[in-house]
């Protein structure tokens, strides 16, 4: 079994300043997501779909390796959430087909 490299203690780890642009601090709302991929990247479009209209509110482009780490982080956080707040039932899939039109 290969050994994992040891992480330095938290007080000795390099601190990286993180800029959080003011226009992103409020976040964006999405009630739908579209996923596409190529060999080199995953593209996640977060959408806000309302009656008769929709808009892309954010697009995230990631490498496949980072996408896999993100999925693991989401699964871990969902387990923690359900331990604290109780089990969730997945939202029902939209009925029918949602078609998107480019303008």
pLDDT in tens, 61-98: 999 999 999 999 999 999 999 999 999 998 887 776 66
Residue positions counted in the chain: 103
Instruction: Tell me the domain boundaries of the chain.
Output: 29-85
DSSP string, 51-96: TTEEEEEEEEEE-HHHHHHHHHHHHHHHHHHHHHH---PPPPPPSS
pTM over 0.85: no
């Amino acid at each position: 079994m290969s050994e994992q490299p040891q992480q330095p203690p938290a007080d000795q780890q390099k601190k990286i300043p993180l800029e959080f642009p003011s226009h992103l601090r409020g976040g964006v709302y999405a009630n739908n997501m579209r996923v596409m991929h190529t060999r080199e990247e995953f593209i996640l479009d977060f959408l806000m779909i309302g009656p008769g209209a929709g808009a892309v509110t954010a697009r995230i482009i990631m490498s496949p390796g980072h996408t896999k780490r993100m999925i693991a982080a989401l699964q871990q956080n969902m387990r923690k959430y359900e331990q604290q707040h109780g089990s969730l039932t997945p939202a029902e899939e939209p009925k029918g087909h949602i078609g998107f039109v480019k303008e």
